[in-house]
Structure 1
Amino acid sequence: MPLTSFAGASTPLPSSPPSRLSSSATSTFKEASPALLNLERVYEQNRQRTQKRNGTTAAAKHSESVLHSPPAPPAPPKGKPRLLLMGQRASGKSSISSVVFHKLPPNETLFLESTSRLQKDDMASFMDFQVWDFPGQIDYFEDSSINMDAIFGEMGALIWVIDSQDDYLEAVTRLNNTILNVLRNYPSIKIEVFIHKVDGLSDDFKMEIHRDIIIRVQDELSDQGFENAPVNFHLTSIYDHSIFEAFSKVIQKLIPRLGQLEAMLTSLCRTCRFEKAYLFDVLSKIYIATDSTPAEMASYEVCSDFIDGIIDIIEVYGSWERPSAYHQRLEAEQHQPLADQIACPWAESCIVLADGSKPILLREVDKSLALVAVMQEGSYDKIPLINMNVDVVVKGLTEFFKITKHKK
């Protein structure tokens, strides 16, 4: 139920007692009757008692509001949310940023130069945010000349990247120092640890490293008085979809009212009997929301690759600028404007996988978002009914991002 603001009715103050006799009246009447003197004394006592009571109540209310009221909420952060990529040198920070946000093929990251200075990238997508790539050789907490508020003052997430194929003891030590400084001064920032480059490790060795790093971090934080610190760990690699899965979970923590998005997708899955539904950021292939069922890497990979195929087709056929004579000829043949000949202004596609016979539906929400759902086998015949339900959800998603979009 939406909150409703009610204006409280103001309680009128008690009316003041009748004024005492004026000086001219007292000078005229030298002697007053006992009844009049008694009435006057009663009025004076009531006036003093009322003033004293009002003053005491106001002071008590002020004292109570100062002592017992909860602290005022902090002012909302200004600017764009930030993703801060930190870690040791050559841990893979620049490769992660290039693959996820700039669509660089993973094999070409071998030719990237080491980051020597802070790099800031603005991402104009469903949510405007920034990605800051920090050089690994600088310890920002030991340099007193660096303004920490300018780095950690905005809402966002700190992503610490650890190279799992290298000696990570020094990286864990710097990570613990960073976490302690952040938790003490900027407790609202999200802290995520990417245990990176796990593609060349066996499953057993991968889990052993993952467990060892978690124990080292949690033990150090516990010794410093931070029990159950809000630190999350992810196994990542740029050569599979694990890096996109990890970034999806990070981005979701920065989205306001994420539960409403998940509720809409869950309702759509129940109504249309979808196995899984994702709301993708088309630019980065990060899913910003999904339904309440547990996410599966296999379904995510298929849906992500499907988006790549649609984008490739759009780049070939959709971006080709047709000459005006071509538009005029189409309008002359159909005797109506070209806009009226288009069935829908948004992109829509549906394919059926050959191996599992499960249709996959894609529907464009806007230029940055796409709804991708894995349907059940045999549900392709119900596409018209499914499209009606998808239309309702897409309209709801559009209104959601209009309301929650950051006001500049």
Structure 2
Amino acid sequence: MTAHDPDDLEALRAKSDVLGLDALLSAEERAVRDRVRAFVDTEIRPYIAGWFDRGHFPAELAPAFGELGVLGMNLEGYGCPGRTAVEYGLAALELEAGDSGLRTFVSVQGSLAMGSIHRWGSEEQKQEWLPRMARGEVIGSFGLTEPTAGSDPSSMKTYAERDGDDWILTGEKRWIGLASIAQVTVVWAQTREGVRGFVVPTDSPGYEAVVLEPKGSMRASVQCELRFDGIRLPSSAVLPGAVGLRGPFSALNEARYGIVWGALGAARDSYEAALRYALARDQFDRPIAGFQLTQQKLVDMLLELQKGALLALHLGRMKDAGTLRPEQISLGKLNNVREAIAIAREARTILGGNGVLLEHSPIRHAANLESVRTYEGTDEVHTLILGQHITGMGAFR
């Protein structure tokens, strides 16, 4: 039998879809996927190794993301695209096949910042911010995590105190995506009423964003430490619909759902890089794809990719039906990110020494996925969410 052509990527993808999962998608869902895939191929893939190497986030692409229709993708109204959860998931997968950092931009902008304003904001806040954010004219960030409050947001120390009709915001946040290039940040703070959300323009006096670097992961992205030195905010800055941790947790669940799909993109790209390399690389007078150990590695990767895709699609269908529960999202995030890391690492081994060069994607995906594994809930947090669900006993404290 003749070996498959390593340059015929579409044929390799068809062969790798052993379960025929493409047939489970509608024509419109495939069209959305293909449109985002083409964008990644032309606007991200040729440049991403250099961006990662230099630690550069291409903020200039924000309007192009808006035109593509992936910012606030599954939100309705206010200039948002209003696509389905499955369509958003497919877009997240294709974006992360380019790079986790670029998919993270879409998640922070759409699921976290825009999602919070859309769900909990006033009509005035929605009209002011959402249309411009959907177009990529305004970049948003989401301030929840703190230096001493990562997995336990209930212990946050950032505080907002009433002062007449205004609020005074003081505190720190850490690992806040996009904060140094954003025009607006949704900040969560303790108040006498409980945790509240605030829409904070980043040019407010007392707002400071410090980029966290150097990093070995998510280098084509921006993460910051935020400092709030007595920022004075009007009462109109408060998200009126959110009191307590329900507000930020609702946004986190939206972001976690996107990760279920996105991690598969990094894994698929790693697998495809390894498969194409194995078909083209000769050792001992034959392509290494013809050796049993290489085939075992490729098959093990494919098994988890196909299972992960079924899981993501099932969760997406439930989300569109309005039946998806938080513990189900935790199951998807825990499984798909964990398996994606294993796939990226195994793919790197097939590339041998060449696999540490950034011209090949698996080493970059493996590094990025360590961040994806940590944010929006660590493995341990999602394990305990599932543990509490199946036993009825909380084990967080």
TM-score (normalised: structure 1): 0.25
The answer to which structure, 1 or 2, has the higher relative contact order (CA under 8 A, 6+ apart) is: 2
Indicate the structure with greater helix content. Answer: 2
